[in-house]
Amino acid sequence: MFRAIGMIEVTSIARGIFAADQMLKTAYVDVASATSVCPGKYITIVHGDVAAVESSVSAGVAVAGEYLADSFILPNVHQGVFPAITATTVPEGTGALGIIESFSMATMIIAADAALKAADIQALELRLGRGLGGKAYFTFTGDVAAVEAGIEAGKTIALERGLLVDTEVIPSPSERLWSSLL
């Protein structure tokens, strides 16, 4: 299991690719994602042991320079984060629906991790930047109280970083909505 995850979000695709290369040359980490996203940003997400991820992200931040939009290092990432990023989650059931939206992809991953650690919820999807104008959102399900607790935990992170767009709790989503989300 991954012990740590880190990410840089860069406003220049060229500088983002350069930073990704430096991140991989600095420490032995695995790439979870290195790709361009809307609107012309580049993100690199790495995972591995804590020290390697810290070294790798620090190198990426240093070379990104003025193009750095956001970054993070999570030393103990929740196991539900990776499946949510790849939208490969299959919930055991459906309940209330929670949605957290952020202006930052990095902030959204941190907020999703906090939500998953704070409440008994199941991650559905962690959408990062593609077709979203650089924004990100996290959807999850559980009972109403758990979804509300997850919203509060994620919202706190996004507000602290000044990048929250909105949150919503839908206590009883339409079955037709579920079919479009799953």
The pTM (predicted TM-score) of the whole model is 0.87
Q: What is the pLDDT of residue 91?
A: 75
Q: Is the pLDDT of residue 38 over 60?
A: yes
Q: For the segment 61-120, what is each residue's pLDDT rounded down to a tens digit?
A: 999 999 999 999 999 899 888 888 877 777 777 899 999 999 989 899 999 999 999 999
| Mean pLDDT, residues 141-168 | 95
Q: What is the pLDDT of residue 50?
A: 94
SS3 per residue for the chain: CCCEEEEEEECCHHHHHHHHHHHHHHCCCEEEEEEEECCCEEEEEEEECHHHHHHHHHHHHHHHHHHEEEEEEECCCCCCHHHHHCCCCCCCCCCEEEEEEECCHHHHHHHHHHHHHHCCCEEEEEEECCCCCCCEEEEEEECHHHHHHHHHHHHHHHHHCCCEEEEEEECCCCHHHHHHHC
Contact 43, 128 (CB under 8 A): yes
Q: Is the pLDDT of residue 47 over 90?
A: yes
Neighbours of 173 (CB within 10 A): 14
Q: What is the pLDDT of residue 27?
A: 96
| Mean pLDDT, residues 163-168 | 94
Neighbours of 110 (CB within 10 A): 25
Tokens (6 digits) for 35: 């790709």
Instruction: Report all structural domains of the chain as residue ranges with CATH numbers, in order of start.
Output: 4-74 (3.30.70.1710), 81-181 (3.30.70.1710)
Name the percent of the chain lying above pLDDT 70: 99
Q: Is the pLDDT of residue 175 over 90?
A: no
